[in-house]
Structure 1
Amino acid sequence: MSKGRPSVYRPDFAEQARKLCRNGATDREIADILGVCVRTFYRWRAEHEAFAEALRAGKELADDRVERALYERACGYEYQDVKIFNPGGAKEPVVVPVTIHVPADVGAAKQWLASRRPRPWAGEKEPEETDMSRRWLEAFMRLEEERPQREAKEAARFAECVEKRVAEELARRGLQE
C-alpha cells in the first residue's frame, strides 16, 4: 500500500509526453507543461512503463528529424518557393514559382561524418608505427612467448616455499620426526 498523497498521473500523459518530445521539448519543459516538478516527472518515468516508452519514442522521432535535417544541410538541397513581384503599372502582383538551392555546408558535413565515421573524421588518427612502437611490440611478444616458462618457475618456487613452511610448522608443533 502506497503512503502519502495519491499520484496525479493519468495514462493520457504518456501520449502528451510523446508529442511534446517529438516536438523537441526537454524533460523540464514536459514536467512544467504537465504541472509537476522534474522529480515527479522522473518518478513517473520509472514507475509507468507506458510513459517511459512514450518518452523514448518521441525523443527518437525528434532525433531522427534533426539527423535528417543535418544530413540535408551537409549535402545541400533544393526546395520550391514563390517570388512575388509588384511591377509598376501592373494591376495585380506577379507570382513566379522558383527553385531555391541551399548549398552544402562543410561544417554540417564534418559533424555528420564525425558522428557516423569517427575514425577518419572526428580527429582520431590511425596509430602510426614508429621504430619505438615496433620495439615495444616486439618486446611484448617476447614476454608473451616466455610466459609459460616464467609461470612454471614461479609455480615451482611457490611449491618449495609452501613445503618449507609446512615443514617448519609441523616441526614447531612437534609433529615431524
Structure 2
Amino acid sequence: MAKGKYEKWINEEGLVLLEGWARAGLTDEQIAHNVGVSRSTLNDWKKRYPDISDALKKGKEVVDLQVENALLKRALGYEYEEVTQESQWNEKTNKYELVITKLVKKRQAPDTTAQIFWLKNRRPDKWRDKQDVEHTGDMDLNIVIDYGEDNG
C-alpha cells in the first residue's frame, strides 16, 4: 500500500517545518502550497492528525503574541536608540569598516489609533462605539408645533 503524503509531515522534522511556517506568518493556503496539497486537504489533515493541528496552532500562537506585544508597545510609546554608521578607512586593516558615528536616544510617542484598537477589543464594555443604554420610567413628550398665522 502506498504511503500517504501526510506521513512526511507527521514526523518531528515535518511538524517543526509546519510550525516554523506558521510562526513566520504564512497562511494555511501558503502552507498547503509548500506541502504540495490543497487547502482543503490541509484542513482535513488538521482534523485527522492532532499533531499537525497542534504544530500549526503553536506556530500561530507565537506570532499572535508577538503582534500583541508590538501593538501594546506602540500604544504605550517607547524609547529607542537611533544608530548612525559611516564607512571609514581603518589604517590597521587597510580596508573600509562601518563605524558608529552618532547615537541618539529617541522616544516614540504613544499611538492613539493603537490605543483605541486595543481598548475596543480588550474592554468592549467601556470602549465600543455603540453603547447600550437602558431607560426605565415614563417619557412624556408634549410637542407643540406653532406654524404661525401665515401657514395655517
Q: Normalised by the size of structure 1, how large is the TM-score?
A: 0.63
CA distance in 1, matches of 2:43, 2:100: 55
Partners of 2:28 and 2:130 lie apart in 1 by 33
Classify 1:85/1:13 alpha carbon distance in 2 versus 1 (closer, same or farther; 3 Å). closer
2:52 counterpart of 1:40: no
Q: Which runs of 5+ in 1 are unaligned?
A: 87-91, 134-177
Amino acid of the residue matched to residue 99 of structure 1?
K
Distance 1:56 1:132, change over 3 A: farther
Query: Counterpart of 2:73?
Result: 72
| Structure 2 equivalent of residue 101 of structure 1 | 107
Structure 2 residue runs of 5 or longer lacking an equivalent are 88-96, 140-152
**Structure with higher helix content:** 1
- What's the counterpart of residue 30 of structure 1? 31
* 1:35 CA drift (Å): 1.5
- Please name the residue that 2:143 is paired with: none
Shift of 1:37: 1.2
CA deviation digits over 1:141-167, x for unaligned, max 9?
Answer: xxxxxxxxxxxxxxxxxxxxxxxxxxx
Check the 8 A contact 2:81/2:105 in 1, yes or no: yes
Instruction: Give the secondary structure class of the aligned counterpart of 1:125.
Output: coil
Residue deviations 1:112-135, cap 9 Å, x none? 0111100111224142424359xx
Q: Tell which structure's C-alpha radius of gyration is larger.
A: 1
Query: How has the CA–CA distance of structure 1 residues 124 and 98 changed in structure 2, closer, same or farther, with 3 Å as cutoff?
Result: same
Residue equivalent to 1:61 = 62
Task: For 1:101 and 1:35, locate their aligned partners in 2 and report how far apart those are by CA, in whole Å.
Answer: 46
1:46-66 residue CA offsets vs partner (Å, 9 max, x unmatched): 111111111111111111111
Once residues 49 and 85 of structure 2 are traced to their aligned partners in structure 1, the CA distance between those partners, rounded to angstroms, is: 52
Q: 1:39 to 1:104 in 2, by over 3 A?
A: same
List per-residue Cα deviations over 1:35-80 (Å, max 9, x = no partner). 2111211121111111111111111111111111111111111222
State the structure with bigger RCO (CA 8 A, min sep 6), 1 or 2: 2
Q: What one-letter code is carried by the residue in structure 1 that aligns with 2:66?
A: R
Q: How many residues align?
A: 125
Please give the secondary structure, in 2, of the residue aligned with 1:19.
helix
| DSSP 3-state at the match of 2:4 | coil
CA distance in structure 2 between the partners assigned to 1:124 and 1:46 by the alignment: 38
Corresponding position of 2:19:
18
In the alignment, which residue of structure 1 is the partner of 2:4?
A: 7
Q: Is contact 1:119-1:126 (8 Å) kept?
A: no
Q: Deviations over 1:2-60 (max 9, x none)?
A: 9xx64112223221111111111100011111121112111211111111111111111
